Amino acid sequence: MVRVAAPAKIPRAPMARVYTKEEADTILARALDIQRGDGTSHEDLVAAAREVGISPEVLERAAAEVVTRRQDELELVAIRERAWRGFYAHLVPYVMVAALLGFVNYMTTSFPWAAIVVPTVSIMEFRDGKVAHETQYFADPFEAPAWRAR
C-alpha cells in the first residue's frame, strides 16, 4: 500500500480588505459593543474620534444630531400613543351606543334597521332645545326626488 502525503499548504499573502461605509460603521459599532458593553462615554468617544483624525467640533455636531433624532423619535412615539388612546376612547362609547341602538331596534321592531349601513354625516344646529338647521352629507350620489326637479 502506497501512502500519498497531503499537499503542503502554500502560505498566501493577506488580501487587502476593503469595506463599504456601512460595513465599516457596523464593524466599528460591533467592536465598541464587544469592548465596552452597551454604552460609551462622551469623553471616550471624543478621544477615539481625535485618534482617527475627527475634530471635536464635528463630533459634537454629529452627537447633537443623534440626540435630536432620538428625541424626535421619542416624541413621535408619544404622539402615536396619545392618538391610539384617543382612538380607543372614542371607539368604546361608539361600540356601546351602536350595540344599545341595535338592541333597542331588535326589541321594538321586526325589521333590522340597525343592519342597514348608510354612510352619511349629519350636522345639526340647535336653538332653545329645537333643531334650527340640519345639513346632511351622503357618501354616494343619489337621484333627487321629482318634487325637487327644476
Indicate the pLDDT class of residue 2, thresholds 50, 70 and 90: low
- Average pLDDT value for residue range 23-33: 79
Model pTM greater than 0.75? no
Answer yes or no: is 132 within a domain.
yes
DSSP codes joined into one string, 56-87: HHHHHHHHHHHHHHHHHHHHHHHHHHHHHHHH
Per-residue pLDDT tens over the stretch 44-55: 778 878 887 888
* Domain stop point among 54, 71, 99: 54
Q: Same structural domain for residues 24 and 94?
A: no
Per-residue pLDDT tens over the stretch 72-124: 999 999 999 999 999 999 999 999 998 998 899 889 988 887 778 778 888 99
- Letter for the amino acid at 77? V
Range of the domain at 45: 19-54
Q: Mean pLDDT over all residues of the chain?
A: 84
Q: Same structural domain for residues 87 and 140?
A: yes
Q: Same structural domain for residues 50 and 124?
A: no
Q: Same structural domain for residues 108 and 128?
A: yes
Count of structural domains within the chain: 2
Asked whether the predicted pLDDT for residue 19 surpasses 60, the reply is yes
Share of the chain above pLDDT 90, in %: 30
Q: Same structural domain for residues 86 and 96?
A: yes
Return the C-alpha cell found at 53. Answer: 483624525
Q: Same structural domain for residues 64 and 85?
A: yes
Indicate the pLDDT class of residue 128, thresholds 50, 70 and 90: very high
Buried b (16+ CB within 10 A) or exposed e, 76-110: eeeeeeeeeeeeeeeeeeeeeeeeeeeeeeeeeee
Q: Same structural domain for residues 81 and 136?
A: yes
Residues 131 and 124: beta-carbon distance below 8 Å: yes
